[in-house]
Amino acid sequence: MNKLTSLLLPICLLAGGCASLSRNSVDITPQASLLASCHIPIGQQIDALAQPLVDRGRTPGMVVALLQADGQRQIFSYGFTDSDRRIPVTGDTLFAVGSITKGFTAESAALLVDEGKLRWNTTLGELADNPQALSADARQITLEQLATHTAGLPRQITSLHMLRGLTTYLFTGAPFYDELDRGDFRDYLRDFQRPTPRRVVYSNLGYSILDYAIATGAQASPQQIATQRIIAPLGMHHTGYQPSALPGYMLRARGHAGDQPTFVRRGETVPDWQFSGYMVGAASLWSSASDLLRYLDAHLNGSGRNDLDRAFAGAIIPRFRAPERDSAGLAWLVNEVNGQKIVYQSGFIGGYASYIGMDVKHKTAIVVLQNSFNWDNAVGHRMLLRLAAASEHRCESTTPPATR
Annotation: CATH topology of 3-392: Beta-lactamase (3.40.710)
Q: Provide the pLDDT for residue 18.
A: 39
**pLDDT, block means (10 residues), the chain with 404 residues:** 47 42 80 82 95 96 97 97 92 98 98 96 94 96 98 92 93 94 92 92 96 93 97 98 97 96 96 95 97 98 97 97 87 92 96 97 97 94 94 62 44
The answer to whether 404 and 47 have CB atoms below 8 angstroms apart is no
Measured CA to CA, the distance from residue 168 to residue 164 in angstroms comes to 6
Q: What is the DSSP letter of 349?
A: E
HSE-up (13 A, CA, CB side) for residue 196: 1
- Segment (H or E) for 355: strand 352-359
Q: Provide the pLDDT for residue 32.
A: 81
Strand partners, 369: 63, 354
**Structural domain boundaries in the chain:** 3-392
**What is the rounded radius of gyration, in angstroms, for the C-alpha atoms of the chain?**
20
Q: Provide the pLDDT for residue 35.
A: 82
The answer to whether 372 and 258 have CB atoms below 8 angstroms apart is yes
Query: What residues contact 201, with CB distance under 8 A and at least 6 apart?
Result: 16, 19, 149, 150, 152, 153, 154, 155
Closest CA relative to residue 22, chosen from 357, 363, 346, 288: 346
Q: Provide the pLDDT for residue 396.
A: 56
Q: List the Cα angle 167/173/178 in 5-degree steps.
A: 70
Q: Which amino acid is at 272?
A: D
Q: Provide the pLDDT for residue 8.
A: 44
Residue 100 main-chain phi, psi, to 5 deg: -60, -20
Whole-model pTM: value is 0.93
Residue 43: other Cβ atoms inside 10 A:
11
